A and B are shown apart, each in its own frame.
Chain A
């Protein structure tokens, strides 16, 4: 079972992401509505993928990402950034901060599924 943590302060957005990714077999989802809640959940239970929004009220996605990459236990966790700020500059900043993938909103069900599949497959290969 692939455990995915979906982080966005908008419930509609989380629901949409989950609705899209359900098409991938053997996945289960946990929601977090803020960056802080995401970090807390990551420190308490293992996940296979973090789907992360950038713009959130308490701490932003970049800060979450930086925290994750600074933790020994979380360093290898794949992180897909999903953001309304889809410009090249944002992409560069996000990738430099250690993101595994970058997907601008609006995305289609196909595009997010493809992105997540690529990340999960890549991870399986690197483990093997």
Chain B
């Protein structure tokens, strides 16, 4: 008998799943609101919201997070009423629900930080409690005239019947397909989950129901699944995509009479909003494993250790070879091993990639909130595409997008009155597109059709001459401190915090930032960022009044250097740096003056330090002036040929906006070929 399970261990998995359900709830609530604003309804989205909150409540109860149980329980109970009464939610209740989702989000974030979840305020609970009364009576099943078995028809929700009617009158074919599972089909990968996923690529699945059948060779389980579909695809396409026999498809549409069509007045509106597509998205997410980013980092660290071990192996094989041992077979294995390590690294990098659509998931909610706060009317167009980027890039990029979106809605897009006066549509347009550029970069554009940037006014505020081109304009906007409210209101507010945008995109991620703006017409920001970056824990230090960083994993030890114990070895004539010898715990260690390697003026050394690394197992010290600290840094590749040099593995930004070199001290010591001679001389 094993020890009893402790359900608290599931808290991190719970947090990840809760976040996912919260994202679904937000998206679906906005879909409900969008449908209702266009005079339609989206009962499926109401049901999805209900289900998300129900699941959050159940999971929170299991891991003992009572404050979230309390909030989710209230939201769930009145969502159930709205679901039963046909899927309309009054605007006031949508606000309350979004507020509730936000309250849960705050608590999930707090738990993620290791804090406890605060109890909900009485105010929130009272507000949520008062919403349950707003739901109408339970909805009635619409009159149906579908060519369907009454037993199946009885199992459909009113909105599903409604969906079939709408599809038919939009010219789609309504079909009933059958799939009988069997062990043979399962062995071929044909299961209800896979069939459903495949069919969903060419048809909208309204509902899937199980049906008991007589046991036959074709249906050994006595079971078949009935799939109710809406599609524009031909039977041929369906057969190919779904892996089902052609005989499996039957039309369920009777002749559509004019009276039927008249019963469905809101079809056009429904089809213009993609609410139904979104609810299908949640189904295609199956088969996805959620992993804590820290675990991926652990895997990456494990891989780094493997690479270091391989390095040692290569060296010892080389040493064997020097001794005259035949290492041909070993070398072949090492070549193979090298390729496998590269593949493994690529696979791990891919695991860290998230779809760009995830980055944009929260933008609609943000825009909605901003519009409310500023009385703007904004239509949001999102074009996410299928690009993927590293989770850590995505996390750094999100605040930038929030910033640019906020500026656009807050300041660039005029009030509806002003827009009408200027002959613009009342509703402003905010458009965000993401597309892959080559295999390594993502391009994001954020454009508005607002008032544009008044160059002369920005220049005057900055005390500069008017910018001659867009690059100059961007330079002006990114001047730190050019963020007065005055600027914000007289121009488009682009000055606000733009230096932070630039720092993240250009300095931290190594990307590009551009602006194009026309007065009175609008502004577009274009961001190009790498899809992946690497982050390491690093020591920063100063040497010759320059800052450098070195990855922590590379450092064996950092020691104080006692100047009186240093033995100087004269430098060679060839200009290579001199080598000193220091004693570490009684062992002589060669020490290289880093300032000499980079030809820097030696700085003031009140208490000089040495960073010790190991090369092929032997310690080597690098003398530096001062250690600054330890922090996580983003390493970006250095492509500039003038900077690319042995011992420099990349560049980073320590937050001061200046590029700082990331040193690979092991590679640096290898490149200093004077070293063995100097060592020999000291013995």
Contacts and interface: CB of A to CB of B under 8 A. Distances in A.
Interface of A: 9-13, 15-16, 19-20, 22-23, 25, 33-34, 36-37, 39-40, 42-44, 55, 57-59, 63, 67, 70-73, 83-84, 105-107, 109-110
Contacts of A19: 5, 7, 9-10
Contacts of B51: 55, 57
A12 B5 contact: no
Contacts of A70: 212
B208 A59 contact: yes
With a 10 A CB-CB cut-off, give which of A44, A59, A70 has the most chain B CB atoms: A44
Contacts of A109: 4-5, 7
A125 to B, nearest CB: 22
Contacts of B286: 33-34
A35 B192 CA distance: 11
A106 B64 contact: yes
B55 A55 contact: yes
A59 B209 CA distance: 7
Given A33-B286, A36-B225, A11 B17 contact: yes
B61 A84 contact: yes
A37 B64 contact: no
23 contacts: A9-B55, A12-B14, A12-B17, A19-B7, A20-B7, A23-B5, A33-B286, A34-B286, A36-B208, A36-B210, A39-B192, A39-B223, A40-B221, A43-B181, A44-B183, A55-B58, A58-B208, A59-B210, A63-B155, A71-B212, A72-B222, A83-B58, A107-B62
B186 interface: yes
Contacts of B59: 10, 12-13
Interface of B: 1-5, 7, 9-10, 13-14, 17, 48, 51, 54-55, 57-59, 61-62, 64, 155, 181-183, 186, 191-193, 196, 207-210, 212, 220-223, 225, 282-283, 286, 290
Contacts of B54: 55, 84
B64 A44 contact: no
A107 B59 CA distance: 11
Nearest to B69: A106
Given A10-B17, A12-B17, A73-B222, A23 B4 contact: yes
Contacts of A33: 193, 286
A15 B16 CA distance: 14
Contacts of A71: 212, 222-223
A57 B2 contact: no
Contacts of A105: 58, 61-62
Contacts of A67: 210, 212
Given A20-B5, A23-B1, 13 more contacts: A12-B17, A15-B10, A19-B10, A22-B5, A23-B2, A23-B4, A23-B5, A36-B210, A37-B192, A44-B181, A44-B182, A63-B210, A70-B212
Contacts of B155: 63
B65 to A, nearest CB: 10
A12 B10 contact: yes
B222 A84 contact: no
